[in-house]
Amino acid sequence: MYLKAEAAPWAPALRPVGPTSATVGAATACDSRAPETAVDKPSIFQTRAQQVFPVLTAAELARVREFGVVHEYAAGDALARVGAPTTGLIILLSGHVKVSRHDAAGEADEIVEYATGSFLGELAQLSGRPSLVDAYATEPVSAVVLPPGQVRALLIAEAELGERIMRALILRRVGLLEQGIGGPIILGRAGNADALRLAGFLRRNAHPHRLMDPDTDPEARAILERFHVEGAQLPLVLCPDGRLLRNPPVGELARCIGLLGPIDDVRPFDVVVVGAGPAGLSSAVYAASEGLSVLVIDGQAFGGQAGASARIENYLGFPTGISGIALMARAYNQAQKFGVQMAIPESVQELSSPQGGPHVLRLSGGESLRARSVVIASGARYRRLAVDNLSDFEGSGVHYWASPLEAHLCEGQEVALVGAGNSAGQAVVYLAARVAKVWMLVRGRDLESSMSRYLVERIRGLGNVEVLVNTTVTALEGRNGVLERIAWQSRGGQPSWHAIGHLFLFVGADPNSGWLAQSGVALDADGFVLTGESVGQGSQFLATSRAGVFAIGDIRAGSVKRVAAAVGEGAQVVAGLHDHLAHNEPEVPDANKWLHG
């Protein structure tokens, strides 16, 4: 059965795509009980069809033609193929195109049929990443094709139309995530730390995927049989292009699905931002919107620690609150809209500043990049408890953030959480609605000295949360990577054991500045980057001891550890970047000079 949107006379025919056994399996792979509403909940493709699938008028079609090139397709031609790089945004002038996805068995499942005035694409079109779906012409088609650069030009030049298109691209990605359409299939057993590591990486980077347990999912077992793979080799990742990866590092997975590609290093970037948290993304958005070429590098995912917050309620402009990942995803998409290049996951190993040349950043994969200026926004790394066997349970029973993935793991169970800051408080409130009980272990004497009052009051009102002050975790027990018992001890008391299989740690973080050891950038005794007057920079309070290198956000000594403060510093640093770049005009590129050192 097809649904017909009523926004315009040429609206696309929309096939309602409900959760299949594969997508329900993705929810239940972490817990034996799926949410009762999972099967009944309508998809965003149905509830917001008019926004997801807008249809352009004849006048709008005439305007978009100025940004692209008209292509003709014969019936049966592919306009997009799963796993192949996208050509950009495709806007139909005439004809019909069917879009489909492949299920776990490789069978085509139609999603939508487009007609005149519709456009093909989602967020992958902003950066030319591989397509998540197939699209074929069902009859002769004439279409305007806008490559990624021209898509961004359209979004900026045509404000009202650009807003509608950008909203549709975002909502389509949300729909793909919601339905588990496109992206890789992760085959792994429930609770396996490596399977959860891979799924968590994709989730934090807003990339569609499916997590399937062959012990409970017949489709997953069929995939193992098709590839003649034994269960002992799990977890496995089946990439959209057909490649099969065995428990890959996240960098290998990112390259397989096209999330991480080659970095354009022909000329130095105006700005390289190291860190994709709120400070880094803010500086990238403001710098790129003012015409600078910007690259953002992060070793894990966009969002930083803010992305791990279950709910941020004191950020200006969001009176009902917003999840950290939702806020950071908006910033990430906004940066791409202005042409920011992303290298995630990628790590900087070393920063150097040769005399008379641009800064050089050496990456973990052996590549080197050049930058006329550098913004250090690498934030901090999560602290770990001093418990001998902690690493045995990380990823399966020990967690450093509370997201839907972790919540499914422990739904209906008792959990323990260590921490007393705002992030810990947000996590407690989030988990309390999903688990039987939260034991909140606080090393200090109270919550009031380290947590916002509104969170303290909310926690006090939760009947299934017990706060234990002056209490520390002393030991963990379990088998085969599965946490079974936790021991904690109050000050002056004896350790007590509790049958709890999930421990959440929100015990602060240390500066992520090890990569600056040989850079000449001055650090304080704790490893935070010194800026401003402390290094003789006067009014340039975000400038470091190295000319053209700036530090913002949590990594900066003396910074206010708040999302709003990080965003503010990200915006403010652009003035310093412009000042430095204006006084350091780029030299004429000499290819031989850079190729041979």
Residue type, 260: L
Residue 576 binned pLDDT confidence (cut-offs 50, 70, 90): very high
What stretches of 147-284 adopt beta strand conformation (E)? Answer: 185-187, 210-212, 236-238, 244-246, 271-274
When mean pLDDT is compared across 22-36, 444-458, 503-517, the lowest value belongs to: 22-36
> Does residue 586 sit in helix, strand or coil?
coil
Two structure tokens written together for 162: 């650009």
What is the DSSP-derived secondary structure letter of residue 304? T
pLDDT at residue 103, as a whole number: 66
CB atoms within 10 A of CB 242: 10
* Cα angle value 470/474/477 (rounded, 5°): 140
d(CA 57, CA 294): 35
pLDDT tens-digit profile of 47-65?
999 999 999 999 999 999 9
d(CA 152, CA 174): 20
pLDDT tens-digit profile of 515-562?
999 999 999 999 999 999 999 998 899 999 999 999 999 999 999 888
CATH entry, 3-179, from 2.60.120.10, 3.30.70.360, 3.40.50.970, 2.40.50.140: 2.60.120.10
185-256 and 3-179 share a CATH fold = no
d(CA 274, CA 299): 9
pLDDT at residue 232, as a whole number: 83
Share of the chain above pLDDT 70, in %: 90
pLDDT tens-digit profile of 175-226?
999 888 889 999 999 889 999 999 999 999 999 999 999 999 999 999 899 8
pLDDT at 69 over 60: yes
Residue 262 binned pLDDT confidence (cut-offs 50, 70, 90): confident
Conformation bin of residue 206: beta by default, left when phi > 0, alpha when psi is -120 to 50: left
pLDDT at 387 over 90: yes
Two structure tokens written together for 365: 């994969």
Per-domain residue ranges for the chain? 3-179, 185-256, 271-381+510-595, 390-507
> Does residue 270 sit in helix, strand or coil?
coil
| Beta bridge pairs of residue 483 | 478
CATH number of 390-507: 3.50.50.60
Global model pTM greater than 0.75: yes
Q: Return the CATH superfamily for domain 271-381+510-595.
A: FAD/NAD(P)-binding domain (3.50.50.60)
pLDDT tens-digit profile of 404-435?
888 888 999 999 999 999 989 999 999 999 99
Cβ-proximal residues to 404 (8 Å cutoff; 6+ apart), any chain: 203
Q: Counting Cβ atoms within 10 Å, is residue 61 exposed (0-12), middle (13-18) or buried (19+)?
A: middle
Share of the chain above pLDDT 90, in %: 72
pLDDT at residue 494, as a whole number: 93
For the chain, helix, strand, coil in percent to 5 are 30, 25, 45
Selection from 267, 269, 276, 332 nearest residue 301 by Cα? 276
Two structure tokens written together for 406: 């972790």
Residue pair 253/237 in contact (Cβ under 8 Å)? The answer is yes
Helical spans, DSSP H, in 363-409: 404-409
pLDDT at residue 32, as a whole number: 31
Strands 414-418, 503-505: pairing is parallel
| Beta bridge pairs of residue 513 | none
Residue 101 binned pLDDT confidence (cut-offs 50, 70, 90): confident
CATH class of 185-256: alpha beta
pLDDT at 569 over 60: yes
Helical spans, DSSP H, in 208-323: 218-226, 250-256, 278-289
3-state SS, 456-501, equals HHHHHCCCCEEEECCEEEEEEEEECCEEEEEEEEECCCCCEEECCC
pLDDT at 378 over 60: yes
Two structure tokens written together for 227: 């590839």
Residue 582 binned pLDDT confidence (cut-offs 50, 70, 90): very high
Q: Counting Cβ atoms within 10 Å, is residue 321 exposed (0-12), middle (13-18) or buried (19+)?
A: middle
Cβ-proximal residues to 408 (8 Å cutoff; 6+ apart), any chain: 27, 28, 30, 31
Selection from 284, 220, 281, 171 nearest residue 29 by Cα? 220
**Integer CA distances (angstroms), 175 to 34, 49, 53, 168, 289, in order:** 19, 10, 12, 10, 28
What is the DSSP-derived secondary structure letter of residue 66? G
pLDDT tens-digit profile of 25-42?
333 333 333 333 344 578
Sequence-distant contacts of 482-487: CB under 8 A, at least 24 apart:
482/191, 482/393, 482/396, 482/397, 483/393, 483/396, 483/397, 483/398, 486/416
pLDDT tens-digit profile of 283-339?
999 999 999 999 999 999 999 988 878 788 889 999 999 998 999 999 999 999 999
pLDDT at residue 586, as a whole number: 61
Two structure tokens written together for 428: 């407690």
pLDDT at residue 508, as a whole number: 84
What is the DSSP-derived secondary structure letter of residue 32? S
**Integer CA distances (angstroms), 497 to 380, 475, 485, in order:** 32, 9, 6
**Integer CA distances (angstroms), 115 to 16, 93, 265, 595, in order:** 17, 8, 40, 49
d(CA 428, CA 170): 29
pLDDT at residue 33, as a whole number: 32
**Integer CA distances (angstroms), 338 to 33, 57, 150, 261, 287, in order:** 42, 25, 11, 19, 9
Selection from 342, 324, 346 nearest residue 333 by Cα? 342
Alpha carbon dihedral 415, 420, 421, 422, in 10-degree steps, equals 50
Q: Mean pLDDT over all residues of the chain?
A: 88
